[in-house]
A and B are shown apart, each in its own frame.
Chain A
């Protein structure tokens, strides 16, 4: 089992509950905008603290009563919706930010088609290039699993198709379980993902 999650997270006045278990594939958590999808990813990454529950990924307990690993100890590769590349570092330094990477930087850069961008500043990249670099950086973060927050949003259809294929390939090549959130079910289906809602029910 990859993800075993059962949590309640407070966001403002609201409490968001979410419970599901997944296999090794790409799991897509779907829900309308504002349902709290990003909040759930934040909790898994250790950036938001659940009120109760547990988060277990690949048999490793990240959160449970008495356990709350800090984000840097969770080994998660988080691809944020807004990429969050460090603006004061070139692409190369962004990729090298994580210590003890599991994979070789040049190999990843080659594989993700960003080898020619290493000397560029993030502000000079296009939307598609930015996503690629963000995915490469997450892969290089000594990750045990990958989190994607609407990675195809605001890309034109051909670019979105490219990035979707890339995510599928990364998942297969590096054998990392993926938790993906989106409001767009057709997008999730294109990825060959298993779709679930916040209660863990399979969604058609």
Chain B
């Protein structure tokens, strides 16, 4: 077709642009190139080397009062009283390898490879050997000044209390690796094959906790119990598990954003140290140290000081910044910045040149561009689908009278009685839970989040009760109710319309950015869908279509949020277009025997959609622009990539400029496509002509 070629020429041809546009483009490019560079920075290690004076492998470290202790092979014990700067060897009663240590309740205990435990029961107390429950113990934890728990191979758990060793019988036989306690009662142990055991009674009995999908075979090497809502565990091959539910009921596998949303650090781990609700330190063989400030989402790979090549075994933190890490061959490193790489401010020329900058930024921008197009594409499809469905709901003429009419009154009344009974039950069940929320007066508007299930029952209960009472009153006359001067006819209520109105009102009266956060973080929708998919189809792996589509939970949440939100707006547009179709069209369709839905599908919608292409186009452009808000849930679309590029290059003008141009390209292309679509689908005599 001739017109198509003309269209393509107009889109891509420089000569077809008018003079203003050309000048605008030239000026923009000039500005982009001419702006001078800002300051760059370099990165150094955040760890310092401390002289240990020994070359044994150091396996464990603990902070005991003002002293920091380190334990190693051959019974080596070192102590420092200046926060790890200088170390002195301490006398040790044993020559066995010391493999694990813990300090709490002013006591300190250390485990050797034969299973014997040495204990300092008090800050100034001497070491005493409290004996051994047997070989094969690997970790210990203090649960009181004079009581502790050991874990070891084949699921062995021993409890030392009141000078007695007691073996805890459990049905669990996997090798256990690590144990951590929050207080005297609540504790967690981890081990091979995704084993997670939880106790609430000081280790006397243990319950199994399901490992998250994807880590049921993992060797969980280390666990940290920071507070009742923050537990982290790590597997030997780099997975990070987290639990934010009380009693560690549910565990999730962290999608590590800095690893491209992979669920593994791609490093072997030996130990994790949870120093705050969100700061975690990682240590591993192969010279690996890492730190995350946000619960494992972004894990920074620590730079290791020159000359160190070891396998790191254990941390001991004095506070959340100061601490030490120990490793093989007598290595002790200390930090006062949680190990974070130091940013040293001096100018580096790298990104000052636009060529260098764009070389770095191009790839990231392209990734962001693809990510934006991906959510926008799916968002538009999803939003349009929802919009069409809601618009059909809103225009559906079926009312309660229509549902009941033609059925015998007796049956309707019986049904009404049943509905009212169910409704009253649900209402009562829902309301009875509200008092436990401890709300007062106006605070009751928050019941939907305080008790979602109760609120749903409450709402459904009211609706069903009223519906049931209405049906009960049915005498075939469908008369209206008059209260004073107000008359209303409940039979005229259109249930589908009511549902759709509730939906659109909700989504149009709350901010999109909050919807993003609520859906992604609050409902964990993306993760729920991933879990559901994996529980049906198995692990989706890291390549293939399913991973492309569902691999990122933020992506799923983003398309749902955008689609649900845009659908609410598109619904109104489409509803308007349906209303613009003359009512005679519906009559004509019905008069040849088509059903209501058939007429909607074959007659009304094809015309309505054509009419609403321009306003829907606006809505879609809005959706593209709104998609930038997906950055708040960590989806790596254009805006977020812009921020990341700035974080590395500090070229704010270039980065945001590039982001802006990229958005313009997306929306402009979309607008042109829609204009073409409008021209192509134009029908003589339908709608206002000359609209393009």
Partners in one complex: no
Contact residues of B with A, CB < 8 Å? none
